[in-house]
Amino acid sequence: MRKLLINSTALATVAALTASVAVADVSISGSTEMKYKTRSSLVTATNGDTMVSDSQVNFNFSNKTDSGLTIGYNVVFTAEGGATTTDESSFSISGGFGKVTLGENDGAADSFGIAAVDLVAEESLDSVASARINTSSDAINTNADNTKIVYMLPAMGGLTAGVSFADSGAASGGDTTDYGLAYAMVAGETSITIGGSSTTTASATTKDTSSLNMGVKLVSGALKVTVSQGTFDAVDEDRKATGVGASYALENGITLGAYMVNSSDDLDAGEKYDASGVEASYTIAAGLTEVVTMNDYNYTVGTNADTDMSTVSDKGSSTSLTIKASF
């Protein structure tokens, strides 16, 4: 009887300890793609065929506290070009006040920008590698996935907004601040989203680097359309880019997409970039997609070529076949 009592007490103690330990919900997802691309270019180094692969594994952990807060952790591993890296690693705290994310992750601007290529499965905006010109109408974020603090306000009707801050370190004045907001509404059978984002990296010695994006997205049944504008302002850089994108989902599992981007730099007179493309995306089976993309581009060197600009013009086209799988 005494032995049974001891065993019962031990079981009760283990159960109490287990109940007090947070048990997280865990989800794992992954994606991989293989792309074959052939490109015709005036630049010998980029003319010809290439084959690349890109994969990601995404781990998400979440736990809800007794006080109602949701604690999450996210880490993304990327394999590309034979190298495996940690792409993102951050934890978050969310509740009625909104969501705070701490660590290596996207800034607020990345969550609200609207670009011409948002509606296509594969971006294919070819250009000269050394050219410093916008090839997208989105905001250009120089801070990428560096360590930062991100705060997302709770949704207020159709309005969402966020802000982020990245410290560049004690010996540097290059801190980065991002802002973003979007407003979604419905007019008849069409949903409309108006979005904008801003990113600024300060400089203690020269001009600040800043980028801005504004855009509109329309969704009406199977048709989606985006119209957007992006700017980039830095030392000897005053770029402007506009873009239009569209996609239409057919009933047979094929989605057609198209985009167009025009960009120029007012401080490098004559420098400009134009690109347009079409694609067809076909869902072979759940989680398996085939994408065919065709793109034309033209890059023109400005009349006052300097170290901030490529020394050669380029024009050409490319065709790519991509097989994508998600898990």
The tens-digit pLDDT sequence of the chain (327 residues) is 444 343 554 444 444 444 444 567 999 999 999 999 999 988 888 889 999 999 999 999 999 999 999 999 999 999 987 788 888 999 999 999 999 999 999 899 888 989 888 888 877 777 665 567 787 788 877 777 889 999 999 999 999 999 999 998 876 678 999 999 999 999 989 999 999 999 999 988 888 999 999 999 999 999 999 999 999 998 888 889 999 999 999 988 899 999 999 999 888 778 888 999 999 999 999 999 999 999 999 988 877 655 556 678 889 999 999 999 999
Q: What is the CATH number of the domain that holds 86?
A: 2.40.160.10
For residues 186 and 299, what is the distance between their CA atoms, to the nearest angstrom?
A: 39
Token pair for residue 63? 């736990």
Q: Which residues contact 16 (CB under 8 A, 6 or more apart)?
A: none
Q: What is the pLDDT of residue 2?
A: 40
For residues 14 and 6, what is the distance between their CA atoms, to the nearest angstrom?
A: 12
For residues 272 and 263, what is the distance between their CA atoms, to the nearest angstrom?
A: 6
Q: Which residues contact 19 (CB under 8 A, 6 or more apart)?
A: none
Token pair for residue 213? 């994006």
For residues 220 and 190, what is the distance between their CA atoms, to the nearest angstrom?
A: 5
Domains contained in the chain, number: 1
For residues 31 and 45, what is the distance between their CA atoms, to the nearest angstrom?
A: 30
For residues 52 and 35, what is the distance between their CA atoms, to the nearest angstrom?
A: 5
Q: Which residues contact 132 (CB under 8 A, 6 or more apart)?
A: 237, 308, 309, 310
Token pair for residue 222? 């199977």
For residues 273 and 264, what is the distance between their CA atoms, to the nearest angstrom?
A: 6
Q: What is the pLDDT of residue 12?
A: 46
Q: Which residues contact 33 (CB under 8 A, 6 or more apart)?
A: 53, 54, 55, 322, 323, 324, 325
Token pair for residue 14? 């283990």
For residues 86 and 252, what is the distance between their CA atoms, to the nearest angstrom?
A: 38
Q: What is the pLDDT of residue 84?
A: 84
User: What range does the domain containing 233 cover?
Assistant: 2-326
- Entry pTM: 0.83
Q: What is the pLDDT of residue 27?
A: 95
Q: What is the pLDDT of residue 6?
A: 39
The answer to whether 58 touches 29, Cβ cutoff 8 Å, is: yes
Q: What is the pLDDT of residue 277?
A: 92
For residues 151 and 143, what is the distance between their CA atoms, to the nearest angstrom?
A: 16
**Whose CA is closest to 244, among 256, 255, 233, 257?**
257
Secondary structure class of 104 (helix, strand, coil): strand
**Whose CA is closest to 322, among 44, 52, 12, 82?**
52
Helices (H), the chain: 2-20
189-196 long-range Cβ contacts below 8 angstroms, 24+ apart: 189/220, 189/221, 190/218, 190/219, 190/220, 191/218, 191/219, 191/220, 192/216, 192/217, 192/218, 192/219, 193/114, 193/217, 193/219, 195/112, 195/113, 195/114, 196/112, 196/113
Token pair for residue 7? 């065993």
For residues 34 and 80, what is the distance between their CA atoms, to the nearest angstrom?
A: 10
